[in-house]
């Protein structure tokens, strides 16, 4: 591959380039690409060596090659012909006569520096001193030559990636256009139904094309955002970063203009946010007032504005009217301090810790790696898509900077805060939810326990919310501190039971070995994470609304599994429905997880009883358990893996049929990663309508102040073993009937009338 550097104007500046993750190009290949055109003679203004030539200064450096003209340094600019502007009566002419001096390296000097660059792109001080003496150059000149050479290599990488992204974008655009034309010919633009009398299978094929079209459009938009983020004439575009492939240095170090802020300014913002979080976490009244009715703490916003006057100016900057959600919760978690801190520093561990809350998460940029094994002082720019376990509530997409800091030997603080220019420059359309200083203070309480004080402070653009979820969202419960702490406690407890070696027999029946217990718990965790991923309103899915014969609104989405061994291969259909039931969450949860009553709602059991083969506890609450159940019929026997989870906020019952032979091997301790599993299940939330008790009593069963429940039911079925097959209308009708019958059975068993 040849790279023509002559297309670069001689005034290309360092700040036009962005440090992206390294492409799979060897340095040798890059040298071959650039060698013919980059016998470069360079000298730039002094910068930060660690930044790769950019630094944190606003000064710019010009890059040149033999083809594009010599490079000049602003700091060494000298001018000739400096006469009095009035001498000839024309000051402008004298200005035009000023010429800049620059230094051109000899071919021998370039050859020697190129040889060292191939061996060591980042020479140390000793190597630079030796080379400068050998070539008769100043150490400063050698230093800047290497900085600019590294910049050129990065520019070549970025141009290559830019061309790949453009090609992919054009390909997707063509496919998108072809699908749109086909759909417009056969479907109503408003409702998507067929406008001809063709058979139902063709109609469903067109609907599937619409779904594929939407996904392609989303991919095109991502690529367009990646390529179009910079103004015309810039030399690079960022690639989609992943945690493993990111460059070890921050792109802010290399190009301070990418997010519109200097690194020093971001560090200043996160330190101010840390101070605010500490005050918010430790202050009592009048900043926080405890509700008499619900017992939850409520932020006194007038007092907050007095305490943090800088916030008032930040909120009056022309944004659309937003609602404020503020909450605080304190809890004790069963995990040691270093492990808990690591789960916030590592984005993948953070996502796994909160599967019901986080549908997507990524580290966009590492601004500071931090120090020591726990990365004290780490600062990262992150993205997260927050969800509820229903497609009826839109997700919240938020960019924020996370700062992890050790306050003392026993105390850490994790603070998240959105930064205006950062999120606006990345994607202004996503700035519908912002984090004011939020996070947690973690205190080590010894014996593997930690006290966590969590503050969640969000600023969200007002939007339409389904009436069924309006109370729980507007009260701040859905995305508030209580939800985060309850989920954290549940996940940490699960981890403790997973690692335990002294589990009582009553908590681990039916499995003979510790290895078998761990394999089953690991498979159940993967099943529940897959369930959470499948039923939310994330942009992963394209939901189509259909109505059942009994009146429920059902959302349907399909996907194709081509090569994931963790799921059955073929076309998978997911159907989800959310309803309100006049039953408390605890009553509903106990009913759905009870194997003795499974035949009351599960129409797949054909009325036959379910029996437990194994039951493994994964928490102190008896409702937190993994069970293997068997259901026998006249024809055959079926095994079900069921994972039930409950905490102070929500409960889930997730299950899936499993291959008996494969499950038997898992019970002996074999690896479960290749067991194909397709989960269905239930998510149960309180409806948020808490009230004062009507009587004062010592009887626990009469103290309940719970309202009803928000039940989300989801079924996933494999409609065809071939990934290339099309979704049929019969499959949609089958899963529609499945949901309707199951809901009817649940209402009948609990004697619930439609709310």
Over the stretch 228-268, which tens digit does the pLDDT of each residue have?
544 433 333 333 334 333 333 333 333 333 355 677 888 88
> For residue 38, is pLDDT > 80?
no
Q: Is residue 139 a contact partner of residue 27, using CB atoms and an 8 Å limit?
A: no
pTM given for the model? 0.64
Q: 106-160 falls under which CATH superfamily?
A: Homeodomain-like (1.10.10.60)
pLDDT of residue 710: 93
Same topology for domains 106-160 and 256-497, yes or no? no
> Is residue 148 a contact partner of residue 61, using CB atoms and an 8 Å limit?
yes
Q: Is the pLDDT of residue 327 over 80?
A: yes
pLDDT surpassing 60 at residue 82: no
User: Six-digit token pair at 581?
Assistant: 């039931």
Q: Write out pLDDT tens, residues 375-396.
A: 899 999 888 999 999 999 988 8
Quick: pLDDT tens for 707-737.
Answer: 789 999 999 999 988 888 888 888 888 888 8
Q: Give residue limits of the domains in the chain.
A: 106-160, 256-497, 500-690+705-750
> Three-state DSSP class for 706?
coil
The mean pLDDT of the chain is 75
As a whole number of angstroms, the distance between CA 221 and CA 59 comes to: 34
Report phi then psi at 629, rounded to 5: -115, 150
User: pLDDT (tens digit, 9 = 90+) per residue, 513-572?
Assistant: 888 889 999 999 999 999 999 998 887 778 888 776 666 788 899 888 888 888 898 999
**pLDDT surpasses 80 at 668:** yes
Count of C-beta atoms within a 10 Å radius of residue 463: 11
Whether 441 shows a pLDDT value over 90: the answer reads yes
Cβ proximity of 118 and 31 under 8 Å = yes
pLDDT of residue 411: 92
> Edge-to-edge strands of the sheet including 637-646?
508-509, 610-617, 625-632, 637-646, 651-658, 680-686, 709-720, 570-581, 553-561, 544-547
For domain 256-497, which CATH number applies: 3.30.530.20, 3.30.565.10, 3.30.2130.10, 3.20.20.80?
3.30.530.20
- For residues 196 and 282, the model is more confident at 282
Of 624, 653, 655, 631, the C-alpha closest to 641 is: 655
Give CATH for domain 500-690+705-750.
3.30.530.20
Q: What is the tens place of the pLDDT at every residue in 293-319?
A: 777 788 888 888 888 877 654 544 555
pLDDT in tens, 179-238: 777 766 655 444 444 444 444 444 456 656 666 666 666 666 656 555 554 443 333 333
562-614 pLDDT, tens digit each: 888 888 989 999 999 999 999 899 999 999 999 989 989 998 877 778 888 89
CA distance 192 to 204: 10
* pLDDT exceeds cutoff 80 at 631: yes
pLDDT level of residue 649 (50, 70, 90 thresholds): confident
Supply the pLDDT for residue 56. 39
């Amino acid at each position: 591959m040849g790279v023509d550097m002559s297309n670069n104007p001689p005034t290309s500046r360092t700040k036009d380039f962005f440090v992206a993750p390294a492409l799979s190009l060897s340095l040798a290949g890059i040298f071959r690409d650039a060698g013919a055109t980059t016998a470069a003679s360079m000298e730039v203004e002094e910068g930060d060596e660690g930044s790769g030539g950019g630094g944190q200064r606003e000064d710019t450096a010009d890059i040149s090659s033999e083809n594009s003209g010599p490079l000049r340094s602003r700091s060494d600019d000298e001018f000739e012909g400096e006469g009095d502007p009035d001498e000839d009566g024309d000051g402008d002419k004298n200005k035009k006569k000023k010429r800049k001096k620059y230094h051109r390296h000899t071919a021998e000097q370039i050859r020697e520096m190129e040889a060292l660059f191939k061996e060591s792109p980042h020479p140390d001080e000793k190597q630079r001193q030796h080379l400068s003496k050998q070539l008769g150059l100043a150490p400063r000149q050698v230093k800047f030559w290497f900085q600019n050479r590294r910049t050129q290599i990065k520019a070549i990488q970025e141009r290559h990636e830019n061309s790949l992204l453009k090609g992919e974008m054009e390909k997707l655009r063509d496919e998108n256009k072809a699908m749109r034309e086909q759909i417009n010919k056969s479907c109503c633009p408003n409702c998507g139904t067929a406008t001809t009398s063709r058979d139902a299978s063709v109609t469903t094929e067109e609907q599937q094309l619409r779904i594929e079209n939407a996904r392609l459009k989303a991919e095109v938009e991502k690529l367009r955002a990646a390529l179009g983020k910079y103004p015309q004439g810039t030399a690079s575009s960022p690639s989609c970063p992943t945690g493993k492939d990111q460059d070890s240095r921050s792109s802010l170090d290399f190009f301070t203009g990418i997010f519109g802020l200097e690194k020093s300014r971001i560090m200043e913002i996160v330190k101010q946010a840390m101070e605010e979080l500490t005050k918010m976490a430790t202050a009592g009244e009048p900043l926080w007032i405890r509700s008499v009715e619900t017992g939850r703490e409520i932020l006194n916003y007038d007092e907050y504005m007095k305490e943090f006057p800088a916030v008032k100016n930040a909120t009056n900057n022309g944004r659309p009217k937003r609602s404020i959600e503020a909450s605080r919760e304190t809890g004790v978690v069963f995990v040691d301090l270093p492990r808990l801190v690591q789960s916030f520093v590592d984005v993948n561990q953070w996502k796994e810790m909160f599967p019901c809350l986080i549908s997507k998460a990524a580290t966009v940029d590492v601004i500071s790696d931090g120090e020591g094994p726990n990365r004290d002082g780490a600062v990262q720019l992150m993205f997260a898509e927050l969800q509820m376990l229903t497609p009826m509530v839109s997700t919240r997409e938020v960019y924020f900077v996370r700062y992890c800091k050790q306050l003392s030997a026993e105390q850490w603080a994790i603070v998240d805060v959105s930064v205006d220019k950062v999120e606006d420059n990345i994607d202004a359309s996503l700035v519908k939810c912002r984090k004011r200083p939020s996070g947690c203070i973690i205190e080590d309480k010894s014996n593997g326990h930690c006290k966590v004080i969590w503050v969640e402070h969000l600023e969200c653009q007002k939007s339409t919310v389904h009436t069924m979820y309006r109370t729980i969202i507007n009260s701040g419960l859905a995305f508030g501190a209580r939800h985060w702490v309850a989920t954290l406690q549940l996940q940490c407890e699960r981890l403790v039971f997973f690692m335990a070696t002294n589990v009582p027999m009553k908590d681990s029946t039916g499995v003979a070995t510790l290895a078998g217990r761990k394999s089953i718990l690991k498979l159940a965790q993967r099943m529940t994470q897959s369930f959470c991923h499948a039923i939310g309103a994330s942009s992963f899915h394209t939901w189509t609304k259909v109505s059942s014969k009994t009146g429920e609104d059902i959302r349907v989405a399909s996907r194709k599994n081509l090569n994931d061994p963790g799921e059955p291969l073929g076309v998978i259909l997911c159907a989800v429905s959310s309803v309100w039931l006049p039953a408390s969450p605890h009553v509903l949860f106990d009913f759905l997880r009870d194997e003795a009553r499974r035949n009351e709602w599960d129409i797949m059991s054909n009325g036959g009883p379910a029996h437990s083969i194994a039951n493994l506890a994964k928490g102190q609450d008896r409702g937190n358990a993994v069970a293997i159940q068997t259901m026998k019929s006249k024809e055959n026997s079926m095994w079900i893996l069921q994972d039930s989870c409950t905490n102070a906020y929500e409960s889930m019952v997730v299950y899936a049929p499993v291959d008996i032979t494969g499950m038997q091997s898992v019970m002996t301790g074999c690896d479960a990663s290749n067991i194909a599993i397709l989960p269905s299940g239930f998510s149960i939330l309180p409806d948020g309508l808490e009230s004062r008790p009507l009587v004062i009593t010592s009887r626990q069963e009469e103290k309940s102040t719970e309202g009803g429940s928000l039940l989300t039911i989801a079924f996933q079925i494999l409609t065809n073993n071939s990934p290339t097959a099309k979704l049929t209308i019969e499959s949609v009708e089958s899963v529609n009937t499945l949901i309707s019958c199951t809901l009817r059975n649940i209402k009948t068993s609990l004697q619930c009338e439609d709310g």
